[in-house]
């Protein structure tokens, strides 16, 4: 079947959203793996933010399992530095948590 230009654009936009969602899911998994290397953070994890593809929400039990939004790509690059300590990760997330609206 031949699609009209408008239908092609619509199909392309749907496929792009699906690909972005899959990329975010992969990034979420990678962040979760790196976070597991810091057991003294008290557990938690990462989950996708459905409203914004660039954001991933980080949850830490020590901070009450509240979702703390971070830029997924930037956070992943930052947390992967070899000399990163769990104290630095906790302090950064704690600062972001304190800046969240109540």
Task: Check if the beta carbon of residue 53 is closer than 8 Å to that of residue 27.
Answer: no
Half-sphere exposure of 40 (CA within 13 A, CB side): 7
Domain ranges in the chain are: 5-98
Task: Check if the beta carbon of residue 30 is closer than 8 Å to that of residue 43.
Answer: no
Kindly state the DSSP code that residue 100 receives in the 8-state scheme: S
The answer on pLDDT for 78 being more than 80 is yes
Which of 34, 99, 40 has the alpha carbon at shortest distance from 72?
34
Higher-pLDDT residue of 52, 82: 82
Q: What is the mean pLDDT of residues 59-73?
A: 86
Reported residue count of the chain is 102
Give this prediction's pTM: 0.78
């Amino acid at each position: 079947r031949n699609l009209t230009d408008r239908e092609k654009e619509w199909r392309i936009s749907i496929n792009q959203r699906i690909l972005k969602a899959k990329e975010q899911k992969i990034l979420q998994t990678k962040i979760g793996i790196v976070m597991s290397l810091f057991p003294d953070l008290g557990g938690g994890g990462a989950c996708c933010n459905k409203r914004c593809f660039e954001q991933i929400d980080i949850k830490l039990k020590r901070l009450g399992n509240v979702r703390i939004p971070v830029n997924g790509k930037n956070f992943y690059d930052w947390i992967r530095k070899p000399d990163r300590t769990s104290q630095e990760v906790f302090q950064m997330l704690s600062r972001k948590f304190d800046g969240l609206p109540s």
